[in-house]
Structure 1
């Protein structure tokens, strides 16, 4: 088991940790600020440093249970089991993913009631696929997204049980992928106030604390991917 520090604070950039296991698939720590690839969001990259050594981390990926595999370059020398390391993420990369991921939540908010059929978060661009026949114009959607981002809405989360989620099926926007239920609890991410959220849905990713941190969103493309499947691609301007 790895303590996932980003769940409590997505702004943690580094942490001291103990090496639990080392293998060809990666290094497992007892705690980590690294987000492991999941839900369309890439895993974090960065470095591990210890007394007498240092190595880069190519990407963090999921292991068994809540274990995080810190994948090293092929020829890297890993830290010894039991050693204390400083695990540091590539913050510029992570923060961009946090902005992108939150922007995709706003994209869901701008298209209420529309199911999501797929998605991908990238450093250069991100996209969501929606089950809808007649999308709004690119210009109207972009204006709505930027109004939401500029509104400075707080982003927060809380945990609910699987039974609570079953009682509120409309919270799940993804049509093909259900939120993980292995631990019996599901993390809900909320944008806006609790009594009138702009967006509320299960999500295990990392997000900014306020929508104003996203910056300007550009809708670059709206494509038809089937009779009722529409792909919306976005990019973010530098801040």
Structure 2
């Protein structure tokens, strides 16, 4: 495989537009860990959200299946992890080679729906979050609290917020603004990245506002029918809420 030093961070197109399902890109480098591109629509695993899968389409129409997307060792590095058994195709990639990066949109959209639903859940359960997982099949939040939760009441609350069709948007604030408003941070386990000079805020209009780098739908109505499938007492001070889609 080819191995070269990455010259610049990958442009993260998904940060500004989560609905982009593909983009034109150029290869930066290829090594045993995966493929780095100059720009991408693939979200790397982080903040509790699973990394995207999909494919890279080469100019001749051939494809390289991407099984996962991860953050690299250096800041701004995104690694597209190929599925096994594609050594010949990977060996043909050269730095500067053009291609089309295309995500598995159905899987990503489920991530977006679930991730937005967890923001609604945060509004319904006003306690710090000390664990999170967002996949295509379920989402879960662990809340730092001791009192019991009612599964049906939470499901009804989620249904109400979905039907109210609240707009979802993002904006950027400075590190200093975040430090001046520590109450914006709900998560105990995953802190928003600092040091780049800006932090991404996700807002569900009239419902929730907190730092978040994940992908979300544009309106709560797009979430669809989401239900609480399980509530677990994980410890004396942890209640786990698991979400699933009703259809």
Shared fold (TM-score greater than 0.5)? Answer: yes
- Distance in structure 2 (CA, Å) of the matches to 1:120 and 1:165: 24
- Distance in structure 1 (CA, Å) of the matches to 2:18 and 2:216: 7
Instruction: Provide the residue aligned with 2:14 in structure 1.
Output: 6
Cα deviation, 1:128-166, whole Å, max 9, x if unaligned, reads: 000112133111111111101111000000111111111
- Report the alpha carbon displacement of residue 22 of structure 1 after superposing the two structures with TM: 0.9
Instruction: Provide the residue aligned with 1:120 in structure 2.
Output: 133
- Report the alpha carbon displacement of residue 171 of structure 1 after superposing the two structures with TM: 0.7
Instruction: Provide the residue aligned with 2:156 in structure 1.
Output: 143
Deviation >2 Å, runs of 4+? none
Asked if structure 1 preserves the Cα contact closer than 8 Å seen for 2:149 and 2:231, the reply is no
**More displaced 10-residue stretch of structure 1: 88-97 or 114-123:** 114-123
- Report the alpha carbon displacement of residue 119 of structure 1 after superposing the two structures with TM: 1.1
- Distance in structure 1 (CA, Å) of the matches to 2:70 and 2:188: 24
Instruction: Provide the residue aligned with 2:79 in structure 1.
Output: 69
TM-score normalised over the length of structure 2: 0.91
Gaps of 5+ in 1: none
The answer on 1:15 being equivalent to 2:8 is: no
SS of alignment partner, residue 173 of structure 1: coil
Instruction: Provide the residue aligned with 1:50 in structure 2.
Output: 58
- Distance in structure 2 (CA, Å) of the matches to 1:139 and 1:49: 45
- Distance in structure 1 (CA, Å) of the matches to 2:51 and 2:138: 16
- Report the alpha carbon displacement of residue 82 of structure 1 after superposing the two structures with TM: 1.1
- Distance in structure 2 (CA, Å) of the matches to 1:117 and 1:27: 32
Q: Aligned match of 1:172 in 170, 174, 185? A: 185
Instruction: Provide the residue aligned with 1:35 in structure 2.
Output: 43
Cα deviation, 1:26-50, whole Å, max 9, x if unaligned, reads: 1111111100110111111001011
Asked if structure 1 preserves the Cα contact closer than 8 Å seen for 2:12 and 2:40, the reply is yes
- Report the alpha carbon displacement of residue 176 of structure 1 after superposing the two structures with TM: 2.7
- Distance in structure 2 (CA, Å) of the matches to 1:67 and 1:218: 36
Asked if structure 1 preserves the Cα contact closer than 8 Å seen for 2:108 and 2:136, the reply is no
- Distance in structure 2 (CA, Å) of the matches to 1:48 and 1:176: 33
RMSD (Å) for aligned C-alpha atoms: 1.1
- Distance in structure 1 (CA, Å) of the matches to 2:180 and 2:26: 40
Q: How many residues align?
A: 233
- Distance in structure 1 (CA, Å) of the matches to 2:226 and 2:13: 28
- Report the alpha carbon displacement of residue 182 of structure 1 after superposing the two structures with TM: 3.2
Instruction: Provide the residue aligned with 2:109 in structure 1.
Output: 95
- Report the alpha carbon displacement of residue 94 of structure 1 after superposing the two structures with TM: 0.2
Instruction: Provide the residue aligned with 1:201 in structure 2.
Output: 210
- Distance in structure 2 (CA, Å) of the matches to 1:213 and 1:51: 34
- Distance in structure 1 (CA, Å) of the matches to 2:85 and 2:185: 42
Q: Aligned match of 1:224 in 233, 239, 244? A: 233
